[in-house]
């Protein structure tokens, strides 16, 4: 550098994070184009109707449902960061319920089949799920047990070479449309944490009852079900992973679920921030754009700092996760912080929009309603605080 050169801040740089390569960037562009062209135009309609099932085979055809799964099962063989790219880009559909329905399929219900499943289970469920020919859901929560997973009452009783399942699950995303469920049950009441077992259950078996479609505050494009299991008979081959180890298996699953939830929350916050920035530059009051009031500028500065902090937490934790660590404390921190700041950002963006922020037309109130779920689903804020606190031996 010559002595006469002047260093100026680079505010317009691409800021590609070091976990991402050019291939990730290409993937990002191709998902982005698909989301903007084929999904976003339907966002309003799907808020009323829930999103249609054709989205699964279409995304399967494009390879987006198996980004991180091996090619031998029809996946793309990508690394963990590809899953983050998908979660982030799906927020551009402006349709939180759609992103959630897809994420439950790709990053919540199918990872345990890939990690713990038998070869036959992978052929029967993972392969069609990657194609989008079968839709997956995940059943942990029950009417009487959410945060306290160990308190579930759904029982699977051994009867000859079959299991008989009885119980109920609630708030199940994709529950009405799913072809199969990854189900958490208790198989041995006396065994404590070693008394849980996962099953893969076909949703068309006798005794599987899809009770009602639940009405929600947000995420309207997703379907959310109350399910009952009434003497549902499944063969031993329906056990997923080890009998008695289901609690540990599902706790592992929840870590990936929380990472994806955190990545989606940061991306959704960035999305609503960007739209609000544009609005603030165009909207005038007292003879100037509202962005020229210091108070508004400070709001953006605060929001941008929070988003950037959350993003760094998510990416650094994802890097640990992708490199074989099991960083439960950091995942919990990232999930907690990203969910909280995303809600704060959405709330502030409503404020900056004024009355327009309260109107459906601007799609800020919907983001606010949709994001509120992040502080509850996949483990509440309080559960995250418990996990973090206990990780210090408290």
Ligand X SMILES: Cc1cc2nc3c(=O)[nH]c(=O)nc-3n(C[C@H](O)[C@H](O)[C@H](O)COP(=O)(O)OP(=O)(O)OC[C@H]3O[C@@H](n4cnc5c(N)ncnc54)[C@H](O)[C@@H]3O)c2cc1C
Residue 173 binds ligand X (CB under 6 A)? yes
The C-alpha atoms of residue 211 and residue 209 are separated, in whole angstroms, by: 6
Chain residues 70-129 in contact with ligand X, contact rule CB under 6 A: 104
Residue 384 binds ligand X (CB under 6 A)? no
- Catalytic, out of 47, 257, 330, 348: 257
- Scanning 114-122, 138-146, 319-327, 349-357 for contacts with ligand X by CB under 6 A, the matching segment is 138-146
Tell me which residue has its CB nearest to ligand X.
Answer: 146
257 is catalytic: yes
DSSP 138-204: EE--BTTBSS-GGG---EEEEETTEEEEEEEEEEEETTTT-SEEEEEEES-GGGGGGGEEEEEEETT
Residue 373: which of 253, 176, 213, 218 has the closest Cα?
A: 218
- 147 vs 351, beta carbon nearer ligand X: 147
Cα-Cα-Cα-Cα torsion 348, 351, 352, 356, nearest 10 degrees, comes to 130
- 45 vs 382, beta carbon nearer ligand X: 382
Q: How far is the CB of 176 from ligand X (least distance, A)?
A: 12
Residue 139 binds ligand X (CB under 6 A)? yes
- Scanning 77-85, 247-255, 305-313, 372-380 for contacts with ligand X by CB under 6 A, the matching segment is 372-380
- Scanning 71-79, 308-316, 330-338, 377-385 for contacts with ligand X by CB under 6 A, the matching segment is 377-385
H helix runs in 194-353, sequence order:
246-282, 294-322, 328-353
Chain residues 196-225 in contact with ligand X, contact rule CB under 6 A: 216, 219, 224
Radius of gyration over alpha carbons of the chain, in Å? 22
Residue 167 binds ligand X (CB under 6 A)? no
Chain residues 34-73 in contact with ligand X, contact rule CB under 6 A: none
Q: How far is the CB of 172 from ligand X (least distance, A)?
A: 5
Residue 141 binds ligand X (CB under 6 A)? yes
How far CA 323 is from CA of 66, 71, 178, 225, 269, in Å, comes to 20, 20, 32, 36, 27
The C-alpha atoms of residue 238 and residue 222 are separated, in whole angstroms, by: 27
- What is the binding site for ligand X (CB under 6 A)? 104, 138-141, 146-147, 171-173, 216, 219, 224, 373, 376-380, 382-383, 386
Please list the active-site residues.
257
């Amino acid at each position: 550098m010559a002595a006469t050169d002047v260093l100026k801040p680079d505010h317009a740089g691409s800021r590609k994070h070091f976990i991402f390569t050019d291939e990730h960037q290409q993937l990002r562009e191709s998902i982005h184009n698909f989301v903007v062209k084929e999904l976003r135009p339907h966002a309003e309609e799907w808020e009323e109707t829930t999103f249609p099932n054709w989205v699964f085979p279409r995304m399967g055809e494009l390879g987006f449902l198996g980004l991180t799964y091996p090619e031998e099962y029809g996946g793309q063989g990508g690394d963990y960061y590809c899953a983050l790219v998908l979660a982030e880009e799906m927020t551009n559909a402006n349709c939180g319920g759609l992103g959630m329905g897809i994420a439950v399929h790709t990053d919540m219900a199918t990872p345990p089949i890939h990690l713990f499943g038998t070869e036959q289970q992978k052929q029967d469920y993972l392969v069609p799920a990657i194609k989008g020919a079968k839709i997956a859901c995940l059943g942990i929560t029950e009417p009487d047990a959410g945060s306290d997973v160990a308190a579930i009452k759904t029982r699977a009783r051994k009867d000859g070479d079959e299991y008989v399942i009885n119980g109920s699950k609630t708030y199940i995303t994709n529950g009405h449309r799913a072809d199969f469920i990854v189900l958490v049950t208790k198989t041995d009441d006396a065994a404590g944490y070693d008394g849980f077992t996962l099953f893969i259950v076909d949703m068309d078996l006798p005794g599987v009852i899809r009770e009602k479609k639940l009405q929600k505050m947000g995420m309207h494009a997703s379907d959310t079900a109350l399910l009952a299991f009434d003497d549902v008979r499944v063969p031993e081959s329906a056990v997923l992973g080890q009998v008695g180890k289901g609690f540990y298996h599902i706790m592992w699953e929840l870590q990936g679920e929380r990472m994806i939830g955190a990545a989606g929350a940061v991306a959704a916050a960035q999305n609503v921030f960007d739209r609000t920035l544009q609005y603030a530059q165009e909207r005038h009051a007292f003879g100037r754009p509202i962005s020229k009031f210091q108070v508004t500028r400070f709001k953006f500065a605060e929001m941008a700092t929070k988003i950037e902090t959350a993003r760094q937490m998510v990416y650094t934790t994802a890097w640990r996760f992708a490199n074989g660590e099991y960083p439960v404390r950091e995942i919990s921190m990232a999930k907690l912080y990203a969910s909280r700041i995303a809600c704060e950002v959405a709330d502030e963006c409503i404020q900056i929009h004024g009355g327009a922020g309260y109107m459906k037309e601007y799609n800020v109130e919907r983001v606010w309603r949709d994001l509120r779920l992040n502080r509850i689903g996949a483990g509440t804020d309080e559960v995250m605080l418990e996990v973090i606190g206990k990780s210090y031996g408290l």
